[in-house]
Each structure stands twice: as structure tokens, then as C-alpha cells.
Copies of this chain bind each other. A is one copy, B any other.
Amino acid sequence: MTNTHINATTSHLISGKDDVKGTKVYNPAGEDLGHIDDILIDPASGKIVYGLLQFGGFLGIGSDYHPVPFAKLRYDSTLGGYVTDLTKEQLEGAPAYEDNWRSDRDWQQRSYDHYGVRPYWF
């Protein structure tokens, strides 16, 4: 995980209840890609392990929900949102959405492998 750029002087905690759903997601050029619909939490570790992203026609992909390892999102306090370098190919090649993905460690393994992120459960 390289998703750490903590600034000791400008820390501001965000509310899971009020501030997460709807937070914008940008590409590295600062263009608005969509927003976060939900976050998925590993209750044992207290770690947010997936962002459920909703993209509206991003890069030619129709509006849809994409569970993406949270480490692929970097918070930018200037933009007030998350920046991601996800590509169309990465999203299209990801494991297909399954109803039980939240409980399916095999699915999660394939997803994390796909995005090249170290599994959160190690």
C-alpha cells in the first residue's frame, strides 16, 4: 500500500455517515470521473478495503459499480476527493461482479491480484 501521504498539519477526519458517499473521484489530470457510492470495511482490522465506485460513462464504460481496492484511491485534500490512475482496461478486465463478492475470499483474491494490490488480509 502506498496510499499514505499524511500531512500532520492538515489532518481532517471524514465522517463515514456524511462524507463518504458521493465523494468525487478524479483522474490524474483532475477530470471528474464519477463518485464513491460506498466503502467496504474489513470489520476485524478497521480498514477500508474496497471503494465501490460509480462511473458515469467513464472512458466509454457505461455507468456501473466497480469494487476497487481502496489502495488504488489516493485522497487529495486540495480537490476534496480521490484521485485514481485506473484505466479502462483494468476496469474491463476485472473479475465480473458477483452478488456474494463481499463474502467471497476467492473473488477478493482474484480482484486484488487483478489490480496488483497486496491482499488486505495479510
Chain A residues with CB under 8 Å of chain B are 3-9, 11-21, 37-50, 70-71, 73, 75, 77, 102-103, 105, 108, 121
Contact = CB atoms under 8 A, between A and B. Distances in A.
A50 B6 CA distance: 17
A17 B45 contact: no
Contacts of A43: 12-14, 75, 77
Given A11-B121, A46-B70, A41 B20 contact: yes
Given A6-B121, A47-B47, A48-B46, A41 B70 contact: no
Contacts of A105: 8-9, 11
Task: Name which of A8, A18, A45, A77 has the most chain B CB atoms within 10 A of its CB.
Answer: A45
